[in-house]
Amino acid sequence: MDSQRQALKGVAKDVSKKIGSSATIGLGSGSTVAALLEELSPLLIAGSKKVGGVATSSQIELVAARCGVPLVSFRGSVDLAVDGADQIDAGLNLVKGGGGALLKEKIVMSGAKEIAIVAAEKKFARRLCEDGVRVPIEVAPVARESAKVRLSKLGGVPEERLLPKGYPYFTENGNVILDTMFEPVDDPRALEQKLKSVPGVVEVGIFTFKPITVYKLRDDGGYEALTRSD
């Protein structure tokens, strides 16, 4: 068993304690969340917990079905949102959207009573956008060029996401993604709001929700639970 999987087993036990006998869970997308759900679902079954999952992508829908987690519609709130992250800063702010599901992930997370983020040790940095990490920005196709100009004026270097053969990448919502480079960010909340004010921008891959618990998966197979309430 690799060290990350070992750490995920411990995190799954911790997360299962946050889930009541009947609960709705928001399921983020990506390989880390998929692996966590595989570890979490047997614990929920063993505890006879009645859980419904709100999926944020087709990928996680398939994982949930395989794990025996029934899917339910999002009705404005979930008891717990479980997700991953592309980068996490010292204030537990996040860059997300590498998998293209940032819009649904942010909608679901905005209605969560609790938020649990799981990420490998290498995903942590002092400030967002260090080490060349780009911010995914979901944009309506009609605004792909005008948004590039406006993002550049805000200090960004946008690059449209493409598929391996050079075709445009479209999200499940029919939008494009501009992966945008910025200098390391001192005020993520302020940048998030500036980017969302650009006409045509649908959502921004900066997540500043609080309170939040972030599980850092250590390389030695252990984990740390970090919390922030403001």
CATH number of the domain within which 21 lies:
3.40.50.1360
Judgement on whether residues 74 and 177 belong to the same structural domain of the protein: no
Judgement on whether residues 63 and 107 belong to the same structural domain of the protein: yes
What backbone phi and psi angles, to 5 degrees, belong to 203? -160, 160
Show Cβ contacts of residue 193 under 8 Å, excluding neighbours closer than 6 positions.
Answer: none
Comparing CA positions, the residue from 144, 222, 156, 167 lying closest to residue 192 is 156
How far CA 50 is from CA of 16, 46, 76, 117, 160, in Å, comes to: 12, 11, 19, 22, 42
How far CA 112 is from CA of 28, 81, 203, in Å, comes to: 12, 6, 18
Judgement on whether residues 193 and 213 belong to the same structural domain of the protein: no
Judgement on whether residues 81 and 140 belong to the same structural domain of the protein: no
Judgement on whether residues 20 and 32 belong to the same structural domain of the protein: yes
Judgement on whether residues 197 and 150 belong to the same structural domain of the protein: yes
Show Cβ contacts of residue 15 under 8 Å, excluding neighbours closer than 6 positions.
Answer: 36, 40, 80, 82, 116, 215
- What is the total count of domains within the chain? 2
Render each residue's pLDDT in the chain as its tens digit; 230 residues: 688 899 999 999 999 999 999 999 999 999 999 999 999 999 998 999 999 999 999 999 999 999 999 999 999 999 999 999 999 999 999 999 999 999 999 999 999 999 999 999 999 999 999 999 999 999 999 999 999 999 999 999 999 999 999 999 999 999 999 999 999 999 999 999 999 999 999 999 999 999 999 999 999 999 999 999 98
pTM > 0.85: yes or no: yes
H-type helices in 80-125, by residue range?
102-110
- The residues annotated as belonging to the active site are 105
CATH number of the domain within which 147 lies:
3.30.70.260
Which residue segment(s) compose the domain that 183 sits in?
Answer: 130-205
Judgement on whether residues 97 and 147 belong to the same structural domain of the protein: no
Judgement on whether residues 79 and 121 belong to the same structural domain of the protein: yes
How far CA 177 is from CA of 9, 43, 79, 144, 205, in Å, comes to: 33, 36, 29, 9, 10
pLDDT for the residue numbered 42: 94
Judgement on whether residues 95 and 15 belong to the same structural domain of the protein: yes
Judgement on whether residues 213 and 188 belong to the same structural domain of the protein: no
Judgement on whether residues 139 and 215 belong to the same structural domain of the protein: no
The H or E element spanning position 144 is helix 144-153
Judgement on whether residues 14 and 56 belong to the same structural domain of the protein: yes
Show Cβ contacts of residue 66 under 8 Å, excluding neighbours closer than 6 positions.
Answer: none
What backbone phi and psi angles, to 5 degrees, belong to 51? -125, 135
